[in-house]
Amino acid sequence: MPQVGPQVGMQDWPLRLHTIIDHAARQHGTREIVSRSCEGPITRTTYADVARRSRALAGALMAMGIAPGERVATLAWNNARHLECWYGIAGAGAVCHTVNPRLFEEQIAFIINDADDKVVFADLTFVPLLEKLADRCLAGRRLVLLTDRAHMPETTLDLICYEELVASGDPETRWLPVEETAPAGLCYTSGTTGAPKGVVYTHRSNVLHALSMYGGNNLALSERSVAMPVVPMCHANAWTFAFSAPMTGAKLVLPGPKLDGASLCELIHGEGVTVTAGVPTVWIDVAARLKETGPGALQRVVTAGSACPRWMMGAFDALGVELVHAWGMTELSPLGSFAVPRAEMADWDAEDLLNQRLKQGSPPYGVELRVVDEKGAELPRDGEAAGRLQARGPAVVSGYFNGAGGQVLDGEGWFNTGDIATIDTYGFVQITDRTKDVIKSGGEWISSIELENEAASHPAIREAAAIGLPHDRWGERPLLVAVRREGAAVEAHEVLAWLEGKVAKWWLPDAVVFADDLPHTATGKLDKVALRKLYAGFTLA
């Protein structure tokens, strides 16, 4: 029997990000990338052009003296130039730090200073924001405006023209051969419970996660797909679309700064979008418009970031579009589960199947999930036992930038997500609450998420949020804050009557109030911190 020694085996082929855009250029070079630019018109390019310009940008960055591992920030919408930045920055051995413009100015200043970004790439629409931030975080940093010379604005800022910078670089630049475990991306959490913390993505973690994401149970991308990521590229790695789409050769539609329902539907119909993704609030207006116009070629909508309302699932079902409820977080690169029904669920009752699809779903290969009790013991997968949700895998964070937050993994590599959840016999996760948002009444948990989902299923309610307020006898009791649909009329007693029989009687809110809108975090989630501050003086009956 021949011996298999260390010299025998597969090639040591580093998983670097540039291999993705190189593959796209070779195999799908003419496939189109469509962008709505900040200058106004829709622009069109190809994977081959993006690869060429990304190499030129990498060369220009190296000529600027950007060293491996240094951070380069982007403050930009989803567009082709931003995509070039992702690959060009990583290809130069630097770290692409995507800054979320929806954060508060103080938070943006904090993370740019914390990351010590050497260069900041920004879209035209963010020049006023840069001017406000100049004294707080931009001193000594080079600022590149993602436009051409004709659109460079008058400003006191010292700006470099992006098109001129790319033109100065060599399109034949060789990618810097960093280790696959070298950092490639940096994305900060929204910081709702303290200062934002930076999540570092490596070349290897991004490639592996993107590979696991594009399959049929997940994003369902192929060369025949037309993919429109509405989720911003600055938000949790763009849910891997900027990597998974080029891997498969999918046509990429980047919506730029216009994320309203009319603008998105224009792209859905005009470009033949087959798959799209974003947080649930995005789809409220889109679903209403598609009801009038039809869904076009749209086949799949992936939604995550907050719980998917029951009515929304039904609205897309009625259109013949599969709405897939997913779950994830920045620390998971970011998606960790998808609620795509199993083959054995084909003959399920429609209501039972809908309830299953409204869960957060099961993890793809490369993500392991479990729930544990307060002592760390794993709980049964029976769909009943609720505990702390933990995750591990090659794309799960092992620590935050600069050591913020200290040790984040236990001895077996498990990361505590901060969610309370159950896992059923099919491996489907159902998140019942965030650890910090759970309402504890009389020593027992009330799921704010379940209250919100049931309330939002009322035909007159567009969105709802449940928070716990202090109570002399029970410790906490729930307050429900609801937003009526446009033109709808519903009162508090009708909402309570709707909830009866859908949740435990002792879960029923002590009060229901109505608001014109609800606050959301920079990543589209309900901002419970802001709500608790807003209603801190509210007295429960």
Mean pLDDT of 355-360: 96
**Cβ pair 227, 138 in contact under 8 A:** no
- Over residues 98-137, the pLDDT tens digits come to 999 988 898 899 999 999 999 999 999 999 999 999 999 9
**Cβ pair 129, 222 in contact under 8 A:** no
- Over residues 429-462, the pLDDT tens digits come to 999 877 778 787 876 778 888 899 899 999 999 9
Mean pLDDT of 26-36: 98
Strands 159-161 and 142-145: parallel
CA distance 462 to 452: 11
- Over residues 505-541, the pLDDT tens digits come to 889 999 999 999 999 887 777 888 889 889 988 988 6
pLDDT at residue 524 in the model: 76
What type of residue is 65? Answer: G
pLDDT at residue 238 in the model: 92
- The vertex-538 CA angle with 536 and 541, nearest 5°, equals 140
Q: Domains of the chain (ranges plus CATH)?
A: 18-33+44-208 (3.40.50.12780), 439-534 (3.30.300.30)
CA distance 290 to 461: 19
Map residue 207 onto helix, strand or coil: helix
CA distance 482 to 495: 9
Q: Which residues belong to the active site?
A: 189, 331, 440, 445
